[in-house]
Amino acid sequence: MALVAFALFALNFHPKLSESSYAYVFYATQDTYACSAAVNIYLLKSLFNTKHHVIIFLSHDVSTRYRPLLESLGARIIEEEPMPLHHDTISYYRGCLLKLASFRMHEIDPSLQRIVTLDADQLVLGNLDHLFDLPMQDFLAPSAYWLDATYLSSTLMLIKPTPGQWRLVQHALADPLPQQYDINIINVLFQDRPLRLSGKYTTLNSHWEDWNAPPWFDSSTTSASKEDLDDLYHQAQVIHFTAVGKPWSYQVKEVRQRKPKAHEVLFRQWERWRRLARDVCPPGVVDEI
């Protein structure tokens, strides 16, 4: 009887699924970037319904009002200061090395097996959970195709955090070189990796300003038609704001004045980000579309 009871229990027992061992990771050292991170966290969590964690590194330069906001969006906050750059670097990028703290995620949360690290000044266009289903690699990133097909971009990186990789990053950070930023360090460490993610995960929005197509896009020429650029927008998974400036800098009407010949998609990207930022971010960041 006891054996029968145990058999029935075993047949009806369904172990609780463990929490996700994957996470999206952002970072911010300025309020405007924290706002843009909030926009993308909202997209991932509320519109694209990711089933995975979202984490954000924040430096002390980010206003305290962003902490409850980001937590309300479902993000876990890690307070951390960026590693210093060499004194001979451009001050605008002084916080960029905070991104590389992602490589020590195995120390922060050992349950996480893979992470996707993203720059905040981007616009996520769809669910990216499929990236975690790719065959396991320690590191994957797209090419910085606008610079050199052999050069890696650091705007989106799929990372398996390990002590070995973190030691490599620490060694590079211990003695930073002049004019060496996160993308340079990533290429010193990983440029020889043969596998790359598609350029659709780091698509510059300058293509809709300049009417050209990236080399990864299926086009017979580098110049692009209206239809090509419409199709490019459908294929892109993440766009990086490089045209005109950052989306918090100008209203849509100002972008139209500055770039009257740009493809209409450029203005739609701008409007989408600003509408979301107006609704998601604290007052004063974006008041007018």
pLDDT digits (tens, 9 = 90+) for 208-256: 999 999 999 976 667 899 999 999 999 999 999 999 999 999 999 999 9
Is the sign of the CA dihedral 10, 14, 16, 22 positive or negative? positive
Percent of the chain at pLDDT exceeding 90: 78
Confidence of residue 10 (pLDDT cuts 50, 70, 90): very low
Q: How far is CA 263 from CA 124, 199, 223, 226, 234, in A?
A: 19, 20, 13, 7, 14
pLDDT of 88 reads 56
Mean pLDDT check: name the lowest of 19-23, 40-44, 277-281.
19-23
DSSP classification of residue 45: I
Which has more confidence, 183 or 204? 204
pLDDT of 218 reads 77
Chain centroid to Cα 287, Å, comes to 25
Overall average pLDDT of the 68-94 stretch: 80
Which has more confidence, 265 or 3? 265
pLDDT of 172 reads 87
User: Residues with Cβ < 8 Å from 24, sequence gap 6 or more?
Assistant: 41, 44, 50, 52, 53, 54, 55, 115, 116, 117, 118, 128
Confidence of residue 86 (pLDDT cuts 50, 70, 90): low
160 contacts 144 by C-beta, under 8 angstroms: no
Q: Is 126 left (phi over 0), alpha (psi -120 to 50) or beta?
A: beta
pLDDT of 120 reads 98
Overall average pLDDT of the 124-145 stretch: 97
DSSP classification of residue 200: G
pLDDT of 221 reads 67
Query: Could you state, in order of their start, the residue ranges of all structural domains in the chain?
Result: 22-194, 201-280
pLDDT of 176 reads 74
Distance in angstroms (rounded) separating the CA atoms of residues 97 and 180: 10
**What superfamily in CATH does domain 22-194 come from?**
Spore Coat Polysaccharide Biosynthesis Protein SpsA; Chain A (3.90.550.10)
Distance in angstroms (rounded) separating the CA atoms of residues 2 and 22: 40
Dihedrals phi, psi of 24, to nearest 5 degrees: -90, 140
Distance in angstroms (rounded) separating the CA atoms of residues 72 and 54: 12
pLDDT of 283 reads 92
Q: Which amino acid is at 217?
A: F
Beta bridge pairs of residue 77: 56
Q: Quote the mean pLDDT of the chain.
A: 89
- On the question of pLDDT at 153 being above 80, the answer is yes
